[in-house]
Amino acid sequence: MVQLETFDYNELIKHRGTKKCGFHEIGLKPDGSMMKIPYVIVVGEEEGPTLLMDGGIHGDEVEGAEAIANVYNELDPKKFKGVYIGIPHLNLEGFNIGKRVASSIDYTAADMNRVFPGDDVSGKISTTIIAKYVKLFVEYADYWVTFHSGGNTLYLEPIACYTNTKLDTVFGSLTYDMARCFMTPYLWRCNPGASKEGSTATMRGLSEVKKIAYICLEMGGNVMFMKDRERIYKMCHDGIKNLLNYLKMTDGPVPEFRTDTIDVDVDYLHITHGGIYHPTKYIFDRVKKGEVLGYVTDIFGNKIDERTAPYDGIVVGTWTPPVIQPREWCCLFGKFQDEE
């Protein structure tokens, strides 16, 4: 029988002042390679909270993964309080092929951020990976940060999602400050219980049930990665360092928060018909209700669809490849919150 390497939080935290990277192994694939979850952990010399950070639940979203790993390499466990856990690439199979979902591991291409809290009893491998992640990592988190991006198809100007401070008196103000540690130009105000999925199927939904202070970062996208690579990476890296200082897990100052951030709630707007997409509004464009955000032409050059602004707002992200499928996201559109 194959002996699997496992992650054991309770055993690892017994060893104060240490750090380790490795894999939690799940099972062999037909080619003999191992299905696994990569992790890094820093156990501080002093006791403190547990901060969990993950990236790459969508395999083509790599912006935060480098920062998670590099901050781990920089941390000195002898000068650290609490526990830092990082999952650089939660969807390792998707990362291997550079795709949002890893269709090769399930009969159907499952989006791992739509199957929380997972199922390791009767579920397929995608739901098993998520179940293991929740049981072995999420259950121990006091704070939870996840990195997303636009992947191969969207570009989002960096935005940090927090919980509405007026509706969540427990975590709202805390998540607001956690989000501001990343100095993003946009902040995305999310209402508790108002997950776009309407259930615990996503990380945000599960964090509310588990009572974990949670923020989500949407950081750029691969289509602009070469141009913006260093800017996006630095924002991820420095944001993690700021957050560690803010949580007093490391000794250091938190820089003054930005005063020019734009506070929005974001809607993912869909197009009806597929074809060639032509955006007419771009990042930071302020748009009036009814103005055209983009349109679609068919293979004969005929205009067959357009998407208009549902309210006065601002463009946060946009579809970037020329070809778009029917009912695909074409624009991420923000409604100003500070004007309510």
**pLDDT tens digit string along 182-225?**
999 999 999 887 554 445 678 888 898 889 999 999 998 876 65
Q: Do residues 118 and 132 touch, judged by C-beta distance below 8 A?
A: yes
Counting as low any pLDDT under 50, the low residues of the chain are 196-198, 340
The contacts of residue 148 (CB under 8 Å, 6+ apart) are: 57, 58, 61, 64, 216, 217, 218, 219
| CATH fold for the domain made of 9-246 | Aminopeptidase (3.40.630)
The strand pair at 213-220 and 154-163 is best described as antiparallel
Residue 189's pLDDT is 94
The CATH class of 266-336 is mainly beta
Q: Where are the domains of the chain?
A: 9-246, 266-336
CA 317 to chain centre: 15
Identical fold between 9-246 and 266-336: no
Instruction: Pick the closest to residue 106 from 89, 137, 129 (CA basis).
Output: 129
The contacts of residue 307 (CB under 8 Å, 6+ apart) are: 269, 270, 271, 292, 293, 294, 295, 330, 331
